[in-house]
């Protein structure tokens, strides 16, 4: 792979900035690769570390997903048995962080972050002053202001296809949904990128900073979300207690 990893074009060497057409080609290449790993090979391959630094570029700047050191295989129709967490902070799906069980849906979450990374030219987490800026939240805020194109990498200038950029940004938000079942499969992702299937209208799916929900039943849903939020808080509190206990032993 003579052109090395994608991250240097996005972050490390500004003079090597890729134009939008090149970025979109890289995105579609990685999507096709993940689709093959998840559904078309003889076994299911979960990569577990999808990110720009693990995407390599060939002589024609085609994107190829590399570094399979953390990958896991299992048979189609069976459940993965992974019970410990590996990967990179910023790309880890919430359920993966809680359960340690990686699935194709956790790969889709990481791919969603990757989409935003490529389209925005920003890392998933950036320390800015006393607080960290989370890329997913920032793109959501742009969408919530009805100006999602504001999130695009300004270094690409005006030479871009607005519909493609908007598609990638919205698809990034959809893939990084907090609920695994709400994320599309990689087959669907490939169809969205190819224009074979229209992306669902995010406003109809009630996009929020905590994810997407379909429909809303007043009262019950508010109670359920409050309960789940409290339960998640207890889970993290218990985890922190366990970690502190371990280091105090």
Catalytically active residues are 49
Residues 6+ apart with CB under 8 A from 143: 151, 169, 170, 173, 202, 207
**C-beta of residue 139 within 8 angstroms of C-beta of residue 164:** no
Beta-carbon count within 10 A of 237 CB = 10
Dihedral over Cα of 213, 176, 101, 85: its sign: negative
Distance CA 8, CA 13 (A): 6
Radius of gyration of the chain (CA): 19
Distance CA 115, CA 171 (A): 8
**C-beta of residue 208 within 8 angstroms of C-beta of residue 60:** no
What is the DSSP-derived secondary structure letter of residue 205?
A: G
Residues 6+ apart with CB under 8 A from 41: none
Residue 54, Cβ density class (10 Å: 0-12 exposed, 13-18 middle, ≥19 buried): buried
**C-beta of residue 29 within 8 angstroms of C-beta of residue 63:** yes
Distance CA 94, CA 109 (A): 9
């Amino acid at each position: 792979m003579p052109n090395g990893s994608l991250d240097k074009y996005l972050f490390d060497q500004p003079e090597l900035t890729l134009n939008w057409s090149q970025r979109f080609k890289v995105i579609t290449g990685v999507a096709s690769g993940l689709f093959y790993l998840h559904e078309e090979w003889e076994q299911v391959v979960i990569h577990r570390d999808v990110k720009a630094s693990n995407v390599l570029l060939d002589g024609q700047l085609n994107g190829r997903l590399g570094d399979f050191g953390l990958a896991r295989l299992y048979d189609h129709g069976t459940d993965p048995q992974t019970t410990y967490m590996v990967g990179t902070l910023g790309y880890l799906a919430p359920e993966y962080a809680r359960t340690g069980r990686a699935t194709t849906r956790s790969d889709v979450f990481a791919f969603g972050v990757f989409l935003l990374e490529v389209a925005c030219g920003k890392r998933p987490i950036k320390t800015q002053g006393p607080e960290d800026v989370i890329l997913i939240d920032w793109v959501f805020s742009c969408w919530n202001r009805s100006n999602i194109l504001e999130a695009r990498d300004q270094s690409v200038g005006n030479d871009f296809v607005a519909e493609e950029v908007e598609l990638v940004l919205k698809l990034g938000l959809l893939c990084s949904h907090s609920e695994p079942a709400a994320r599309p499969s990689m087959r669907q992702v490939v169809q969205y990128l190819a224009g074979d299937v229209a992306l669902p209208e995010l406003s109809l799916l009630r996009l929020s900073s905590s994810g997407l929900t379909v429909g809303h039943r007043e009262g019950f849903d508010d109670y359920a979300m409050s309960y789940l939020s409290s339960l998640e808080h207890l889970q993290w509190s218990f985890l922190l207690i366990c970690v502190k206990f371990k280091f105090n032993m």
